[in-house]
Chain A
């Protein structure tokens, strides 16, 4: 899976924490309680076994490729890409696969240590931040050859803070309201085009004894999708970007308006949200307990029954204000070139290769749950839902990257998760406090 805050790999995060938390260990040592000390040893041992990606050589007969795509399907998909590259050019690709949570958590030390030539990462602030710190190599020359393969929105998402190109998109996936066609046909529900229509529909569903909007926020990040969409529909894409990079203050009417608007939707969202994961909510949608569910298209991975999968459709987040529906939330995954990798011509060739339909077809042949980004990729195997996802992205004027990729990770992780969870609980939001926290955290960068 490609998302940031996945809880599934907690154990490894906890292992890592043992080293980064001196006071706790000092307590154990000082007290000298044998059993407690012994209990700590497995954690310490586990840390040393932690997989720090190692790189070797930047000689041009080959390149190293660091991959955080550790799940089986994406791992094999990237394998297919590197194999295709080797078959085409005769150059060897050495792939270092690291569990995705580890990869993301260790990115700071990874980039400062000996990173691989190219590595998997995300578009958005999380890419721009490292570009701004000079840890990445610009790839304007690569974009001269592959630029024609991408839409303007994708090009914009691949640009660094200095206007140079840094990122090569591989695939993305849109966020929208997913629903079961059969349920809607049976009850006579219609796709809402406006926010008012959405509220009317939700009220109707509630009267029918269905929870109108599936919702899960135990992991903290899914609620950011609702926030992002209401924000972009009310205040526009540019405001979303500026707010995420803290060029706009949180303590202003525009932000309060987002939460005021959301309050109207809150009674229709699943009240059990804080206790369930997105997978739980996907099951509720499958069981027709909820009427619709706002999530990324990766939700379809949960529907293993082909009959159910064929019954799934989605619609874009309805229009709220003048801003229309120009922006779509479609996080992009792709490749970056590390500073060291910038000296390796073969690594640049590999980046250029990934920006072609040929490479992305090789990827999509294995991992079909995502939408390839380059023009001219094979769409003949697309399901109607795949096609709709692809069209939604292609038609979008702006592509946002989801809050945790567009904003400072500390802001997303430490501030927004607790803030949104308490908003879900009591419907109140202290935007002054959000601004106070944002000020401190962004100043620390």
Chain B
């Protein structure tokens, strides 16, 4: 066997080279050659380093900066501020609490309306109806569209004077016309519907994959036992999709926390559309940056995000350990 072919065979299946079998003290066979170890440590090490440099380091720096005052110019200008930034955002920064409320509202809306809608679409499209692929593409298209395009599409729909919605309501051009994006009492709902439009397509795709993965014999067995279609779905199919369900729950929570693009294209997250992520951007990016305050906001968002992340990770790793 040539050495190249030898490399192609997974290490576990390889004949030990030179007939030597190295054993550790415990008597377990050590099958990794030095070369394997180098390759493996590179494969694990490089992503770990990238992860450290691109994710953990900035994250820790954000946490650090949230306790300072800095104008973003000279490193020498960084001054300690204690908890002042946190005090500022909770007491003096008017958009903060509305933003927290809006994020909660967003979460409820996605969880109670958008996600079930995605599930419904998936179940309907899973029924082998004609043109299923076309419908799938249509519902998934919003997920792939660029921000700018989404802004334009919904602008056409929601405009006060010549938007489609006011036209359908018969109020276009009259004083009763609703300013869907400008009126701060309705624009959050308008934005959430736009977000649902994207989110449902995303959830649909994931559930379609999940439904395909459910063993058809389960459904047959349920049918033989006399279960109705609804019962089959809720008692058999849905519980069988448990891994997908957990992913969807996490995605829904994360989507509502990082809800940003839709409000940002509407009015950059002001006037009734305050969201935590938009506030972070406003305070961290551009000329108007206030790094301490922006970092404090980012840390608040991070801490909230950690809850579903920890939940997800403990679920996945907990299962692996049991296995």
Do A and B form a real pair? yes
Interface residues of A (CB under 8 A from B): 4, 7, 10-11, 13-14, 16-17, 20-31, 33, 35-36, 39, 104-105, 107-108, 112, 126, 133, 135, 218-220, 272-276, 409-410, 412-414, 417-419, 421-422, 425, 430, 433, 436-437, 440-441, 443-445
Judge whether A445 and B71 touch: CB under 8 Å: yes
Q: Tell me which residues across on chain B come within 8 A of A418, comparing CB atoms.
A: 94-95, 270-271, 274
Judge whether B59 and A220 touch: CB under 8 Å: no
Q: Tell me which residues across on chain A come within 8 A of B257, comparing CB atoms.
A: 27
Judge whether A409 and B268 touch: CB under 8 Å: no
> What's the nearest-Cβ distance from chain B to residue A43, in Å?
9
> What's the nearest-Cβ distance from chain A to residue B140, in Å?
10
Given contacts A16-B286, A218-B267, A414-B293, 9 further A-B contacts (CB under 8 A): A11-B146, A20-B284, A23-B305, A27-B258, A104-B286, A104-B287, A409-B287, A410-B289, A418-B271
Q: Tell me which residues across on chain B come within 8 A of A414, comparing CB atoms.
A: 282-283, 288, 290, 293
Identify which of B95, B285, B286, B305 gathers the most chain A CB atoms within 10 Å of its CB.
B286
Contact for A26 among B59, B283, B285, CB less than 8 A? B59
Q: How far is the CA of A412 from the CA of B287 in the complex (A)?
A: 10
> Can you report 11 residue pairs joining A to B where beta carbons are below 8 Å apart?
A10-B151, A20-B284, A21-B281, A21-B298, A22-B58, A23-B59, A27-B305, A30-B55, A275-B183, A421-B270, A444-B70
| Closest chain A residue, CB of each to CB of B303 | A23
Judge whether B288 and A412 touch: CB under 8 Å: yes
| Closest chain B residue, CB of each to CB of A277 | B267
Q: Assuming A11-B147, A23-B301, is B182 touching A272 (CB within 8 A)? A: yes
7 closest pairs, A vs B, by CB? A275-B182, A413-B288, A22-B58, A275-B179, A105-B286, A23-B302, A409-B288
Q: How far is the CA of A275 from the CA of B182 in the complex (A)?
A: 3
Q: Tell me which residues across on chain A come within 8 A of B227, comparing CB atoms.
A: none
Q: Assuming A21-B281, A26-B55, A104-B286, is B160 touching A437 (CB within 8 A)? A: no
Q: Tell me which residues across on chain A come within 8 A of B298, comparing CB atoms.
A: 21-23
Q: Tell me which residues across on chain B come within 8 A of A23, comparing CB atoms.
A: 59, 62, 280, 298-299, 301-302, 305
Q: How far is the CA of A24 from the CA of B292 in the complex (A)?
A: 18
Judge whether B264 and A14 touch: CB under 8 Å: yes
> What's the nearest-Cβ distance from chain B to residue A209, in Å?
11
Contact for A36 among B54, B147, B251, CB less than 8 A? B251
Interface of A is mostly: helix
The contact string, 1 if C-beta is below 8 Å from chain A, for chain B 283-315, is: 111111111110000110110010001001100
Judge whether B309 and A25 touch: CB under 8 Å: no
Judge whether A107 and B287 touch: CB under 8 Å: yes
Judge whether B182 and A22 touch: CB under 8 Å: no
Q: How far is the CA of A274 from the CA of B264 in the complex (A)?
A: 15
Q: How far is the CA of A192 from the CA of B231 in the complex (A)?
A: 75
Judge whether A25 and B55 touch: CB under 8 Å: yes
Q: Assuming A25-B54, A440-B88, is B94 touching A433 (CB within 8 A)? A: yes
> What's the nearest-Cβ distance from chain B to residue A279, in Å?
13
Q: How far is the CA of A105 from the CA of B285 in the complex (A)?
A: 7
Q: Tell me which residues across on chain B come within 8 A of A36, comparing CB atoms.
A: 251, 254
Q: Assuming A30-B309, A30-B313, A33-B251, is B93 touching A437 (CB within 8 A)? A: yes
> What's the nearest-Cβ distance from chain A to residue B80, in Å?
12
| Closest chain B residue, CB of each to CB of A15 | B147
Q: How far is the CA of A445 from the CA of B291 in the complex (A)?
A: 10
Judge whether B309 and A27 touch: CB under 8 Å: yes
Q: Tell me which residues across on chain B come within 8 A of A108, comparing CB atoms.
A: 72-73, 287, 289
Q: Tell me which residues across on chain A come within 8 A of B92, comparing CB atoms.
A: 433, 436-437, 440
Judge whether A17 and B247 touch: CB under 8 Å: no
Contact for B265 among A10, A17, A133, A441, CB less than 8 A? A10
Q: Tell me which residues across on chain A come within 8 A of B62, comparing CB atoms.
A: 22-23
Judge whether B285 and A17 touch: CB under 8 Å: yes
Q: Tell me which residues across on chain A come within 8 A of B302, comparing CB atoms.
A: 23, 26
Judge whether B309 and A21 touch: CB under 8 Å: no
| Closest chain B residue, CB of each to CB of A417 | B270
B184 within 8 A of partner (CB): yes
Q: How far is the CA of A436 from the CA of B93 in the complex (A)?
A: 9
Q: Tell me which residues across on chain B come within 8 A of A39, comparing CB atoms.
A: 143
Q: How far is the CA of A9 from the CA of B292 in the complex (A)?
A: 26
> What's the nearest-Cβ distance from chain B to residue A102, in Å?
10
Q: How far is the CA of A414 from the CA of B269 in the complex (A)?
A: 11
Q: How far is the CA of A437 from the CA of B292 in the complex (A)?
A: 13
> What's the nearest-Cβ distance from chain A to residue B49, in Å?
14
| Closest chain B residue, CB of each to CB of A104 | B287
Q: Which of B220-257 contact A (CB under 8 A)?
A: 247, 250-251, 254, 257
